[in-house]
Structures are given as structure tokens and as C-alpha cells.
Amino acid sequence: MPHMAGQPLAFSPPVQFSEHAVREMCRLARKGYEVPGKQEVFGFLYGIRNGDNRLLIRHARYYRGGKRTRYGIDIPIDDSRRRRRALSRQLGQRYLGSFHSHVEIGGWNARGLSPADLQSFRNDHGSPLEVIVNVWAGTPRSLRAVPKTVFAFEPDTGYHYRIRAYAKLRNGIRRTRIRVLRSRAVVIY
């Protein structure tokens, strides 16, 4: 098992997402999908760790920097960390991790962390979570429940999303349980 400097942020699963944060991640993933040639998008997650040691993610914020392609994102480390600290101060919330999208290309869509994703997450000691948002277009089908996964479908746009979160635990990087705190019943999970 690879060595991780410092202790990972301790929390009790599931990680809770506000519907607002989920919608924002989905909206950004969709924007990247609609760029000609398709692009992955990348951003930061903010929220709190409450008294029960639960992480509650309230906001997702897009990061403009770096170089995006359909297969990955090259993020300038110093600039992105300055930006994420500034956003944390602005929002008055804790930085809880990053998210990025994986776009469907010719029917193929990488579900988990790629080896490069894993490496950059592991090296980023300030980041407790890495969230992947898969995005693809298609007709709705009945979705079966998949552990540790949130599915969303937007009837208005016809896009599907699959959301998974990875956390640094004592035994390494693992997929963790997530839950969406619903405020309105427009997106179907």
C-alpha cells in the first residue's frame, strides 16, 4: 500500500451532497460534453464536516485553469490550490475535495479513477475526496440500484449522470457511500 503523508480526514459515510451541488456538477459535466469534441471538466467541492463527523457538500465550483481534453485534464497545481483556498474563504466553507467528469465517447465511458486520477488524488494531501461524474446521452432505461453510486437522469435534456466518490481511508483510496439530500423532485435518482 502506498504511503500517504499525514492522516486522511476522518469522517463517517455516507458523504452527503446537497441537491444544489449535484445539479451544479451535472450542469458542468453536461457543458463539457457539449463542447465540440467533448471535454472533461474539473472543479472543487465545499461544505462542512458536522458534529457527527459527516461530510456535507453544499457547493461545487468550476475551475477554469488547466488544459482539458476529452480524456483528461492537466491542472496547474499551484494555481489551482490558490484558487481553491480563495473560494473556500469566499464561501466560508471547507474545501472537501475535487470533482471531474468522464464523458462518453463512442459508447465508452471510464467509470472509476484512472491511474492518473489515482496518482494525482493520492499526491494531493489536502484533498479528502475525489468525485467522478460520468455523463452520457441516451434514452432512459430502468436503472437498478448500484452500491455507492448515484444515478441521475434529466428528462429535459436527455442526459444521464453517474456519480461516485472516492475517499482516502486508512487502508487506501476506496469508493465511499454517498447520498443526495433532495430539495426538489425534478432530477430523478
Based on CB atoms, which residue is closest to Zn ion, 114 or 119? 114
Q: Is 130 in the site for Zn ion (CB under 5 A)?
A: no
Q: Which of residues 46-65 bind Zn ion (CB under 5 A)?
A: none
How far apart are the C-alpha atoms of 96 and 22, rounded to whole Å?
14
Q: Is 104 in the site for Zn ion (CB under 5 A)?
A: no
How far apart are the C-alpha atoms of 9 and 130, rounded to whole Å?
13
Scanning 13-21, 61-69, 111-119, 146-154 for contacts with Zn ion by CB under 5 A, the matching segment is: 111-119
C-alpha cell at 56: 456535507
CA angle 177, 61, 109 (to 5 degrees): 55
Scanning 2-10, 57-65, 114-122, 169-177 for contacts with Zn ion by CB under 5 A, the matching segment is: 114-122
Closest CB to Zn ion: residue number: 117
Q: Is 117 in the site for Zn ion (CB under 5 A)?
A: yes
Based on CB atoms, which residue is closest to Zn ion, 24 or 117? 117
Look at the alpha carbons of 118, 23, 96, 68 in this order and tell me if their dihedral is positive or negative: positive
Residues 6+ apart with CB under 8 A from 50: 56
CB of 102 to Zn ion, least distance (A): 6
Based on CB atoms, which residue is closest to Zn ion, 90 or 114? 114
Structural contact between residues 160 and 152, judged by C-beta atoms closer than 8 angstroms: yes
CB of 19 to Zn ion, least distance (A): 24
Structural contact between residues 99 and 32, judged by C-beta atoms closer than 8 angstroms: no
Q: Tell me which amino acid residue 174 is.
A: R
Binding-site ranges for Zn ion (CB under 5 A): 114, 117
